[in-house]
Structure 1
Amino acid sequence: MISFSVVIPAKNEAPTIEKVVRATIKLPECSEVIVVNDGSSDDTGKIASDAGARVISHPYSKGNGASVKAGARAATEDVIVFMDGDGQHLAEDIPRLLNKLADGFDLVVGARQSGSQASIGRGVANKFYNRLASYMTGHKVEDLTSGFRAVRRKKFLEFLNLLPNGFSYPTTSTMAFFRAGYSVGYLAIHASKRVGKSHIRPIQDGVRFLLIIFKIGTLYSPLKMFLPIALVLFMLGSGYYGYTFHYFGRFTNMSALLFTTSLIVFLVGLVSEQITALMYSGGDKDIDKDHKG
């Protein structure tokens, strides 16, 4: 079995954090459990510390992604397991993640099965994200937004600057691993119903989830997303031009607008593709300074 660190981002998880920490820390190869207390207003930090976790406390809430980044920097093992502190993820699934990681994967994600989603809306949204990500990567993506995952620390640190401070770090990190050509695997799990109130805000996070769709495209292959849009606009422009030329014998401003917009969208995608390539080109040059002698 591989020795590993566990990182648990937590905000106001006092009712569940003790149980999660104790269940995780007793696993044979678990070297440490790091709880990142993200500005909690309850006793999350103290309870986690009393349960045996190493606690990193933020003076104010910085976001789930910021907590994950802080935990990844502080971890000492070459393998990190990320999990939530709300009781959804089961410690007994960790050895299964690690066994799959040992099969040659760089990232293994716990893919939630039917009945594990918090609501029907969330389930439908996640299915849409999975299909979009599968189209973008050319590989089947079973769960793009799951926060339960095992990863090789050195490779995860390569993309730390790309990760947002908010809730979409799973999406960003998964797509970054695909883009870099690393091996990503999935393991079927059942996520329990969370204890307490979710930190998801329906309106703000609904908009954020829509932005994730565009982030998926721009993170992985922007041209693959922008080119179909450009083609649709070009076809609309051509169709409208054919209609106006046939019936009125002229080229209209609307046709010109559609053609111009099509060209602009295509050029934006082309430039974005080059920028994305440059973002990932430095990954192989990064040095894990924490592991240097």
Structure 2
Amino acid sequence: MNNKPQASIIIPVFNEEAGIENTINRLLSVSSNYEWEIIAVNDSSTDNSRAILNRFHQIRILDHSTNRGYGAALKTGIKAASSDIIVMFDADGQHNPSDIPSLLDKINCADMVSGWRSKDSANDWIRKPGKYILKKVADILVENKIPDLNCGLRAIKRELILNMLDLLPDGFSFSTTSIIAFYKLGYNVAYVPITTDPRIGQSTVKQVKHGPQVIMLIIRLITLFSPLRIFLNVASGLFLVGIIYQVEEIARRGWHIVNGALLLVIAALLVFLFGLIADQISELRLGLIRGQIQKQKNKSE
């Protein structure tokens, strides 16, 4: 007899006392019609979030002894989940639980199903420039247009995400990195239109840090999935500057080798070779993940 729930709803919780009660109540009202497991991962909240969670005996509560991050909370929930299907769900009241069945309906013909937020959805205007740049970079990395890069409402096949947790970050960029990883590993990603509400309470993402975080995330994504792209551009720039420098010196003083130009060309060659090595390491790592997932599939069959 299979007693597995239809889906495990994972809710990362860090200082969400303003919205978590409303979020859980809305989830429970919808889940009464389904066989869902609700897991709240308390990421060492310093407010009353844990006390509020204690009021709900219908859910599982997991705790971090220290604040480890949004991604780390999701990883803890994914590892503890009983279902073969994981649903990521934010604690701040933005998501509508009635959208979950639509995601689950599509998961049979996809590996990940993400929410696709409409124009009417609540959006934090201060993050729009960073998200726009990040999306453009992601589209180039996966050679496809991603409708919604970082929506926090997703349904995912557990066996796939479980084997790539070491690749994914512990911080806020878990959502972005995971969807790019699914594309790069050749898995099928589908989308369901949703509308999100304004979040309840203050965001735990510091706006002052958001810009540098986005820049670091872009660099990390490129080096993780397509390192040759950045190394090749740097190498090309160094090589071009070196050649221009050499040509200018020849035009001014006649034929001779300019040490500075030679160093730039050698640096360009070294950067290019490092890029090739990094690209091979990236492909090997992704290949190992593919192998682990395939081995897991063979065992389950």
Fold match, TM over 0.5? yes
Question: 5+ unaligned residues in a row in structure 2: which ranges?
Answer: none
More displaced 10-residue stretch of structure 1: 254-263 or 210-219 = 254-263
Cα distance in 2 between the residues matched to 1:217 and 1:199: 26
| Displacement after TM superposition at 1:208 (Å) | 2.0
The count of corresponding residues between Structure 1 and Structure 2 is 289
In the TM superposition, what are the counterparts of 1:1-293 in structure 2 within 5 Å?
A: 3-25=6-28, 26-27=30-31, 28-51=33-56, 52-102=58-108, 104-114=109-119, 116=121, 118-249=123-254, 250-283=256-289, 284-285=291-292
The question of whether the paired residues in 1 share the 8 Å contact of 2:130 and 2:211 is answered with no
Tell me which amino acid in the other structure corresponds to 2:26.
A
**Residues 111 and 229 (structure 1), Cα distance of their counterparts in 2 relative to 1, 3 Å cut:** farther
| Displacement after TM superposition at 1:171 (Å) | 1.9
**Residues 241 and 165 (structure 1), Cα distance of their counterparts in 2 relative to 1, 3 Å cut:** same
The question of whether the paired residues in 2 share the 8 Å contact of 1:233 and 1:259 is answered with yes
Question: 5+ unaligned residues in a row in structure 1: which ranges?
Answer: none
Cα distance in 1 between the residues matched to 2:208 and 2:287: 36
What RMSD, in angstroms, separates the aligned Cα atoms of the two structures? Answer: 2.2
Tell me which amino acid in the other structure corresponds to 1:13.
E
| Displacement after TM superposition at 1:50 (Å) | 2.1
Tell me which amino acid in the other structure corresponds to 1:77.
S
The question of whether the paired residues in 1 share the 8 Å contact of 2:141 and 2:226 is answered with yes
**Residues 44 and 278 (structure 1), Cα distance of their counterparts in 2 relative to 1, 3 Å cut:** same
> Percent identity between the aligned chains?
35
Tell me which amino acid in the other structure corresponds to 1:246.
A
| Displacement after TM superposition at 1:54 (Å) | 1.0
More displaced 10-residue stretch of structure 1: 13-22 or 198-207 = 198-207
The question of whether the paired residues in 2 share the 8 Å contact of 1:6 and 1:30 is answered with no
Cα distance in 1 between the residues matched to 2:82 and 2:199: 29
| Displacement after TM superposition at 1:288 (Å) | 5.9
Cα distance in 2 between the residues matched to 1:24 and 1:111: 20
| Displacement after TM superposition at 1:29 (Å) | 2.8
State the Cα deviation string for residues 99-136 of structure 1 (Å, max 9, x = none).
Answer: 2323x210122233336464333112111111111111
The question of whether the paired residues in 1 share the 8 Å contact of 2:127 and 2:210 is answered with no
State the Cα deviation string for residues 254-283 of structure 1 (Å, max 9, x = none).
Answer: 322331232222122111111112212222
More displaced 10-residue stretch of structure 1: 265-274 or 247-256 = 247-256
The question of whether the paired residues in 2 share the 8 Å contact of 1:126 and 1:143 is answered with no
Tell me which amino acid in the other structure corresponds to 1:17.
I
More displaced 10-residue stretch of structure 1: 267-276 or 77-86 = 267-276
Calculate the TM-score normalised by the size of structure 1.
Answer: 0.90
Cα distance in 1 between the residues matched to 2:197 and 2:267: 47
The question of whether the paired residues in 2 share the 8 Å contact of 1:97 and 1:187 is answered with yes
